Amino acid sequence: MVFVNLPSRKRPRLIWATPLLAALAVASFLWLLFAHDDPSRMAAWMRWGTLSAPPAEWRLLWNDGRILTLVTALFVHFNAWHLLVNGLFLLLFGLSAERALGGVRLLVVFLVGGALANLAAALLMSDPSKVIVGASGGISALIGAYLVLFPNAKLGMILPLGLWPVFIRAPAVALIGVWAVLQLLLTFSGPPSYGQVAWWAHLAGLLLGAILALFFRDAVHRRR
């Protein structure tokens, strides 16, 4: 009797959540770009973005249904560069995380982690009534989840050394750690103002994504 290892006939799982998030962000950007002039686009940012508020006045975030903007702000971007950078990070970490988590869990990490990251940024920014938009909080949550799910993974990066760029591979934990330290430094050195980066959302998203991934880790092992 001879035993032969046969390749699995199991079909690869459909990756749909990450492309869906990217498509919603692009559609929102195009809608704001072509269906609004400058004044109405500014009003749309204020309506669908998350407005900051002092911690003592946190109830302001609940006025007029504005709590929903903790989610809608994830799909609004100021300009094409803002959208492009977030889109690249979404695809880089989202596609890998979705293969491990599945589409539904990835949406939970992105939406819940991103919404709570926006809430943290809204309460911790030193200036009140500033608008927070962009997918950064949700993407940071995916980065935190990626770190928990793939602690031994390596990421490729291009460094401009000398006359020629050099491609290197480094442990993800090291690169993400450097990124996290940079966010921490910028949180306290960069002035939070309208149109600039809400660094608190990055830090909060990273932590929240890691926590959510810990809850899903057993299910991920069973999925594999």
pLDDT tens-digit series, residues 107-122: 999 999 999 999 998 8
Query: Helix 17-34 crosses helix 103-124 at what angle (to 10 degrees)?
Result: 50
Q: Name, in order, each residue with C-beta under 8 angstroms of 104's C-beta and a sequence gap of 6 or more.
A: 17
Q: What are the pLDDT digits (tens) for 166-211?
A: 667 778 888 888 888 888 887 766 554 434 567 788 999 999 999 9
From start to end of 91-136, where are the E strands? Answer: 131-132
User: What whole-number distance in Å separates Cα of residue 48 and Cα of residue 74?
Assistant: 9
Average pLDDT over every residue of 119-142: 87
More confident call, 97 vs 182: 97
Contact yes or no for 14/95 (Cβ under 8 A): no
pLDDT digits (tens, 9 = 90+) for 138-159: 999 999 999 998 888 887 666 6
Per-residue confidence (pLDDT) for residue 59, from 0 to 100: 72
Q: Quote the mean pLDDT of the chain.
A: 82
Q: Is 150 helix (H, G, I), strand (E, B) or coil?
A: coil
How confident is the model over 54-66, as a mean pLDDT? 72
CB 116 within 8 A of CB 74: no
pLDDT of residue 179: 85
- Which range (50-54, 101-105, 206-210) has the least confidence? 50-54
Angle between helix 136-149 and 199-223 (nearest 10): 40
- pTM here is 0.85
19: pLDDT strictly greater than 80: yes
Q: For residue 6, what pLDDT band results from cuts at 50, 70 and 90?
A: very low
Alpha-carbon span 2 to 195, nearest angstrom: 67
